[in-house]
Every structure is written in structure tokens, then in C-alpha cells.
């Protein structure tokens, strides 16, 4: 092989080598891109949604607290990969007065979104609407003082018509009034599409079944999702 042929062979070998390496690099880059497109980063849940309520929040009568609407909302949040953890601070039998006494202890941990679900037990006991209003506003003020940037949600409630027309109307008006004055997102009626429907309530005709809790979660989520 003469000198010219040796030189030509060397040049061809050089370009062939570059071509092979370039192909391998591109393939590796494509594989990396494909992998990054498939794998979604896990979002760290560093924000807290506090559900502060009574037996409706606590999931009274259900086989597991996981069936209560705050926990069902957590499932929706997880499916959307949002950075929030739901905390169920429901306590069966809680009144607004009891909630006002309890809130300081609950606020020891940070709160980014506060969902207030209290008042139903006040209504069933015939507590004055002025007292219920005062207690709800005092709870909100405590939360705002502790966490000024916290977003607020208020779950509306009604009492049975048997409580009398005046009390029924006055009680129902509490929640829109407090929500407006305190700049809160209002869930107009937590038990919408559940109250009075036998199949969606337990034998006491007050507490939702697991199917009823699914609808409660939908009622809240419809208003909550926009502020997350």
C-alpha cells in the first residue's frame, strides 16, 4: 500500500469513527430525553390544608377515617400532583364554642389553607345565631393572626325546618355573611345533594355514608381547587 492509499484509508477511518460516536451520543441523548419525559418528579408536600370541623369532617360512623371527605380530597390532590397535605382535625360533637377553645392547640403547626366546618351542632342545639357568628369570626381571627397569608374556606350549613322558619333563615344566613365579612371562599351548603336522602345517610339520618362523603368531597373541591 503506497503513501497516498495509506493517507486515504486513515482519513476514511477517522470520519467513520466520528460518525459512529456521534450516533451513539445522539442515541444516548434521545434515551435520556425519553426517560425524563416519562418520569415525573415527585412533588414534596410542604403545604398544609387544615380541615377544622365536627363529626361530618371526622367521618363519624364510617369504617375508616380515610373515607371522610378531607381524605377523599387528599386523593384528588395526589392525582394532580399538588404540593398539599390534608390534615383532618374533625371532632365529633364539636360546637363553635368548642372549636374556639381548641383552635389554639391546633395552630401549633403551620396552616396554608384553613377549611372551617362548624356550626351544625350549634343549630341542632338552638344556640343563638349571634353566638355562632361571633364564635366563627373569632376562630377565623385566631387563624389569621397566627398565619396572615393563610387562605380561608367556610363550609355553609343549614338546620332542619323543624327548628322553625325564623331560626332556619337566620341560621342559613350566618355563613354567607361571615364569608363575605372575613373574605373567605364559601361552600354554600356542605350537605348539598346529601341531606334528606336516605341512601346517602347512616341510620341516624344525620351522618353521611361513604357514598355521601364522596359527594361532600365534590361539594368542597369545587370551591377549594381554585385557590390551591
Distances (CA, A) of 110 to 53, 85, 213: 17, 11, 26
Q: Mapping DSSP to helix (H, G, I), strand (E, B) and coil, where does residue 96 land?
A: helix
> What is the enclosing helix (H) or strand (E) of 47?
strand 47-53
pLDDT tens-digit map of 173-191 = 999 999 999 999 999 999 9
Cell numbers linked to 79: 392525582
- Determine which one of 13, 34, 55, 162 is catalytic: 55
Nearest to 186 by CA among 176, 194, 195, 196: 176
Whether 27 is a known active-site residue: answer no
Query: What average pLDDT does this structure show over 101-118?
Result: 98
- Determine which one of 109, 162, 207, 223 is catalytic: 207
Whether 207 is a known active-site residue: answer yes
Whether 149 is a known active-site residue: answer no
Contact indicator for 176, 185 with CB cutoff of 8 Å: no
Nearest to 124 by CA among 214, 206, 66: 206
Q: Mapping DSSP to helix (H, G, I), strand (E, B) and coil, where does residue 79 land?
A: helix
Q: Report the C-alpha gap between 181 and 184 in whole angstroms.
A: 8
pLDDT tens-digit map of 31-75 = 444 444 455 555 566 999 999 999 999 999 999 999 999 999 999
State the pLDDT at residue 23: 41
Percent with pLDDT over 70 in the chain: 80
Cell numbers linked to 133: 357568628
For residue 212, pLDDT over 80 is answered with: yes
Contact indicator for 209, 203 with CB cutoff of 8 Å: no
For residue 84, pLDDT over 90 is answered with: yes
State the pLDDT at residue 15: 38
- Determine which one of 3, 79, 162, 204 is catalytic: 204
Nearest to 107 by CA among 140, 74, 72: 140
Amino acid at each position: 500500500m503506497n503513501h497516498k492509499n495509506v493517507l486515504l484509508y486513515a482519513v476514511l477511518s477517522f470520519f467513520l469513527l466520528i460518525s459512529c460516536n456521534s450516533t451513539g451520543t445522539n442515541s444516548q441523548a434521545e434515551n435520556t430525553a425519553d426517560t425524563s419525559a416519562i418520569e415525573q418528579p415527585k412533588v414534596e408536600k410542604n403545604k398544609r390544608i387544615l380541615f377544622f370541623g365536627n363529626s361530618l369532617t371526622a367521618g363519624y360512623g364510617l369504617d375508616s377515617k380515610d373515607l371522610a371527605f378531607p381524605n377523599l380530597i387528599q386523593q384528588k390532590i395526589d392525582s394532580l400532583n399538588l404540593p398539599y397535605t390534608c390534615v383532618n382535625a374533625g371532632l365529633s360533637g364539636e360546637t363553635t364554642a368548642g372549636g374556639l377553645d381548641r383552635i389554639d392547640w391546633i395552630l401549633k403547626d403551620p396552616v396554608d389553607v384553613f377549611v372551617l366546618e362548624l356550626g351544625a351542632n350549634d343549630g341542632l342545639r338552638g344556640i343563638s345565631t349571634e353566638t355562632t357568628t361571633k364564635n366563627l369570626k373569632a376562630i377565623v381571627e385566631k387563624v389569621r393572626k397566627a398565619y396572615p397569608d393563610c387562605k380561608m374556606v367556610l363550609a355553609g350549613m343549614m338546620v332542619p325546618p323543624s327548628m322553625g322558619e325564623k331560626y332556619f333563615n337566620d341560621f342559613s344566613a350566618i355563613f354567607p355573611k361571615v364569608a363575605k365579612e372575613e373574605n373567605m371562599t364559601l361552600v354554600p351548603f356542605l350537605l348539598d345533594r346529601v341531606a334528606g336522602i336516605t341512601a346517602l345517610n347512616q341510620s341516624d339520618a344525620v351522618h353521611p355514608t361513604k357514598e355521601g362523603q364522596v359527594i361532600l368531597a365534590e361539594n368542597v373541591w369545587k370551591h377549594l381547587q381554585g385557590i390551591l
